[in-house]
Amino acid sequence: MSETVYSKKEVLDKARELGKLISETEEVDFFKKAEEKINKNLKVQELIGKIKNKQKQAVNLQHYEKREALKQVEQEIDELNKEIDEIPLVQEFKQSQKDVNHLLQLVSTTISNTVTDEIIESTGGDKLRGTTNKSPFIDIKNS
């Protein structure tokens, strides 16, 4: 059995290739288009600007311990967030973020599971039990 050993640099080079491949998927393409629409939408940009201003006010009010005024500003921020979340374009953008994150999680899990399976197999282990080598404590009668 010939085992190839790769350097960390080679693995990272492959990871960059995989990253480039992922960046060219339908999910990422849709995300980029949705983000571009968000950035060009005046209503969305206006609401984002209002939210940022209210957040600055909230930080100042918190600093000066103006609790009642802070509550009011936080409520206004919540209302602005609800308003922005009701815009279909924003909903589309948020869904595209979820789709890209799901793809990245799927890739990460697949890599992790593959590495684990390879370790188990290369040590003569048992994938079903998740052990990396044959345990001397396994019941021979059931084998």
Prediction pTM value: 0.78
pLDDT tens digits, one per residue of 92-115: 999 999 999 999 999 999 999 999
Asked if 90 and 98 count as a contact pair (C-beta separation under 8 A), the reply is no
Four-CA torsion 25, 30, 35, 36, nearest 10 degrees: 100
- Show me where the domains of the chain are located: 25-123
Asked if 47 and 25 count as a contact pair (C-beta separation under 8 A), the reply is no
Per-residue pLDDT tens, the chain, 143 aa: give them: 457 899 999 999 999 999 999 999 999 999 999 999 999 999 999 999 999 999 999 999 999 999 999 999 999 999 999 999 999 999 999 999 999 999 999 999 999 999 988 888 888 877 777 777 765 565 555 55
* Architecture of the CATH domain 25-123: Up-down Bundle (1.20)
